Amino acid sequence: MKLFAPAAARILAVILLFAACRKKAFDEYYGRPDNLANPIYQQLQSRGNFTLFLQMIDRAGYKSVLSQAGYWTLFAPNDDAVNAFLKEQHVSEVSKLDSATVSSIVEYALVYNAFKKDKLDDYQSNAGLLADVAFKRRTAYYDFVYTDTVNGVAAKVVANNRNSTASSVNYVSGDYNNKYLPYFLPGYMNSKKLDAYDYNYFYPNTTYTGFNVAGAAVVNSDIVAENGMVHEVNKVIQPLLSLDRYLASKPQYSEFKKILDRFMVAYSPNTDVTHLYQVLSGSADQVYTKYYNASLAFAPNNENFLKLQDNDGQSDGWTLFVPTNEVVKNYVQNVLLEYYPVKSIDQLPLGVITDFLNAHMWNTTVWPSKFKATVNTLNEEARFDAAVDISDKQVLSNGLFYGTTKVQEANVFHSVYGKAYLHPSYSLLTKALNLELKLSVTNPNLRYLLFLVSDQALKQAGYDWNDANSTFQYTPAGGTVTIGGDAVTRLKRILSTHIVPLAYNETVDLSGEGILETYDGEYIRYQNNRIFSAGTQDNSNVQAQTLALDSVKTASNGVAYYSNGVLTFTELNMGKHIEKYAATSADPYYAFFQFLKNSKIYNATTGAIEGIQAGVFYTLLIPTNAAIQNAVNNGWLPGTGSGAVLTPTYAPAAAEDIEKVTRFLQYHILAKASIVADGKKEGAFETLLKNAAAETVSLKITNTPGSLGVTDAVSAGVSAYIVPAASNVLSSRTVIHQIDNYLKYIY
């Protein structure tokens, strides 16, 4: 053992020496470099002008966090900033502030991840950093549970951290709805074409420096620390309220909030948050998630923006325009409830309320210089004058807030569509417009005459809404009900005849007489403030052949007339409308109809003409009786006798004469277009006639208001003009005119 001890000592010495060498090498490679910056907390200590904010950090319990490994950005107010804040709070030292305020200031100044100034306006997208599109960062601060009044009772509530869906509250456990901190850097401002005006609009008492954080300026940036980055600011920044909490804090917006709360807010028990809250507080209270209806553009209490990507709240946020109380009350009473005998908002359909609210909500950031360029979910720009109509402007944690002295005049309310939408007696018409035409008739850049049809009139015509199938149904007199399908097709056609597109600045005086082209190309007529269509003219009751106009309302994109009936389409074929004006030899269409009814292309039972297809537009040009006689005399139609005047052969037997009649008739029918003397349609138009080479034979139309000229294939100039007294006869997608001459073709 005596021999072994010295040997063991020598071995131990070698081991210790080897271990010491290993440690030295390890420290040299892995140890903290001497030139590494101090952690954030120690950096603040060493700079000497953050003593008061360090006290806040200590009180908030963040000394350890900011003294050890991490990856933070801290917007640290200097001593001058904290002193100014203490004076505002009327306290002499940090210790006099309540702990919740201190903690909120520290946590809101603390941003996840470390960013130098030149990277703060980069958006951390799923695809990587996108330069110059971010103006916010998520902070360590969140509101957690607060007390709210639910149905008149105090309750513990947590804000929803997502927009709800139609089937779910959509609250995500573990996401604490952390607030964002806004800042303003040249990269972002330039990319969005913003300038100092946009910043100072919200912060008029702070100079825009090119690096502002909320209402503060960064006076010293990019202070590198071992565990992140520090930017020195000249003001204490308290956590910004969300849109939801700011709205609740301002009594001047209580009317708008009442509508939101009454129709769009609900509360759902939150098991996970309740458990956490009970553990932390020792309370037995149930916590409820406050969530907004999925039909809203966004949830004003959601701090996370859309959350389509984890950090999309860095690059965008919500915008809410809220009118003051008197403005809301006046608008609800005088516009939304104008046609309701009981002036209670509970009378309104939920869709009206939803549209009113969504008209004031943008699911994007609306900067003050971009009102006209930024649209809401109704696809409408902000219709406010930033210099006149805005009484309150705030940058908040999840978006921008504008208090307004007027409402956003939404197209759905102020267009011709709104005259039906806001009238309880026109709900079926509104549903019908919603099928396809809502976007058109609410468009402020297009103008229309809209003839409004009441629910009562539509039901009398056989149309109604089928709740069980969520579609329209049609029941003809004495017939069986049709649900959907053909019922909807019929109603769409009827609806189109009640909509007349207008040119810019075009006006129509319905007290006179004229003809109007409707939305799908069919024509209606008016005379002495009464209107009529091909269908109404078929009515055996003379009083029902025209519809009276009860009243008129001017809209932002046209004029709406309230009528006492439905402009129906005809169920008859074209020949029956010709026959109506051909009963005697003195009637204007008599001679033409005699050839037509005896021709091979006419079905005398149905009034159908061969070649006329359903759904296609036509114009029928019927020569006067005298002109038909001239056509007979000149050999264009068959006749008998000798001399200059022949007797028409209305029912020829010879094949050549039969074809002559057929070609004559076909050449007087324009296909694929209905044309009237309104100056709108002119040029070459094909007829039903095809020549020996099977090519379509055309006519040329010249058109000025009140005059329609026709040039045939033979004549060098206009061959015939319409005769107004016997023109503008309406048929199925057809207008029938009388012309003062017959038309010559080349076969």
- Picking from 380, 705, 413, 408, the residue whose alpha carbon sits closest to that of residue 560 is 413
Evaluate if residue 661 carries a pLDDT over 60: yes
Distance CA 204, CA 395 (A): 12
| Contacts for 603 with CB less than 8 Å, ≥ 6 apart | 573, 575, 609, 610
> Which residue has better confidence, 373 or 19?
373
Left if phi > 0, otherwise alpha if psi is -120 to 50, otherwise beta: which for 459? alpha
Helix (H) / strand (E) containing 490? helix 486-496
Rounded to 10 deg, the angle between the 350-358 and 254-264 helix axes is 130
Report the alpha-carbon angle 613-617-621, nearest 5. 100
State the pLDDT at residue 710: 99
Mean of pLDDT values over 5-17: 43
At 81-109, the pLDDT tens digits run: 999 999 999 999 999 999 999 999 999 99
State the pLDDT at residue 35: 63
Would you give the DSSP letter of residue 242?
Answer: P
- Picking from 706, 710, 713, the residue whose alpha carbon sits closest to that of residue 741 is 710
At 331-374, the pLDDT tens digits run: 999 999 999 999 999 999 999 999 999 999 999 999 999 999 99
- Picking from 458, 432, 454, the residue whose alpha carbon sits closest to that of residue 519 is 432
Helices (H), 504-573: 534-537
Would you give the DSSP letter of residue 466?
Answer: E
Distance CA 657, CA 63 (A): 109
Distance CA 403, CA 252 (A): 9
Ordered structural domains, the chain, with CATH = 40-140+208-233 (2.30.180.10), 147-175+242-412 (no CATH), 415-563 (2.30.180.10), 574-739 (2.30.180.10)
Evaluate if residue 379 carries a pLDDT over 50: yes
State the pLDDT at residue 23: 47
Distance CA 339, CA 328 (A): 17
Q: Could you count the other beta carbons within 10 Å of the beta carbon of residue 71?
A: 11
At 169-226, the pLDDT tens digits run: 999 999 999 999 999 999 999 999 999 999 999 999 999 999 999 999 999 999 999 9
- For strands 720-721 and 707-711, give the pairing: antiparallel
Return the residue matching tokens 């003062």. Answer: 740
Residue type at 660 in one-letter notation: K
Under the banding of pLDDT at 50, 70 and 90, the label for residue 19 is: very low
Question: What is the signed CA dihedral for 252, 253, 257, 259, rounded to 10 degrees?
Answer: 100
Mean of pLDDT values over 687-698: 96
At 191-200, the pLDDT tens digits run: 999 999 999 9
State the pLDDT at residue 12: 40
User: Greatest CA separation found in the chain?
Assistant: 163
Left if phi > 0, otherwise alpha if psi is -120 to 50, otherwise beta: which for 528? left
**Range of lowest pLDDT (3-17, 98-112, 279-293, 580-594):** 3-17
Residue 742 is encoded by which pair of tokens?
């017959």
Q: How far is CA 623 from CA 628, 664, 669, in A?
A: 6, 11, 11
State the pLDDT at residue 395: 99
- Picking from 428, 544, 448, 554, the residue whose alpha carbon sits closest to that of residue 502 is 448
Kindly provide the residue ranges of all beta strands, DSSP E only, lying in 189-280, ordered along the sequence.
212-213, 216-225, 228-233, 265-269
Partner residues linked to 125 by β-bridges: 128
Return the residue matching tokens 């004229």. Answer: 514
At 267-285, the pLDDT tens digits run: 999 999 999 999 999 999 9
Under the banding of pLDDT at 50, 70 and 90, the label for residue 36 is: confident
Evaluate if residue 570 carries a pLDDT over 70: yes
| Contacts for 93 with CB less than 8 Å, ≥ 6 apart | 86
256: Cα separation from own chain's centroid = 21
Mean of pLDDT values over 395-401: 99
State the pLDDT at residue 165: 95
Distance CA 269, CA 180 (A): 26
Distance CA 623, CA 648 (A): 14
Under the banding of pLDDT at 50, 70 and 90, the label for residue 34 is: low
SS3 357: helix
- Picking from 222, 411, 394, 228, the residue whose alpha carbon sits closest to that of residue 322 is 394
Evaluate if residue 11 carries a pLDDT over 60: no
Would you give the DSSP letter of residue 592?
Answer: H
At 232-268, the pLDDT tens digits run: 999 999 999 999 999 999 999 999 999 999 999 999 9
SS3 612: coil
Helix (H) / strand (E) containing 59? helix 51-60
Mean pLDDT (the chain) is 95
Handedness of CA 350, 354, 355, 357 (dihedral sign): positive
**Is the CB of residue 43 less than 8 Å from the CB of residue 90?**
no
Convert 564-591 to b/e letters by CB count within 10 Å (16 or more is b). Answer: ebbbbbbebbbbbbbbbbbeeeeebbbb
State the pLDDT at residue 151: 84
Q: How far is CA 496 from CA 137, 530, 534, 618, in A?
A: 51, 18, 13, 17
58: Cα within 13 Å, side-chain hemisphere = 11
Under the banding of pLDDT at 50, 70 and 90, the label for residue 530 is: very high
State the pLDDT at residue 14: 42
Evaluate if residue 666 carries a pLDDT over 80: yes
Query: What is the value of pTM for the model shown?
Result: 0.91
Would you give the DSSP letter of residue 599?
Answer: S
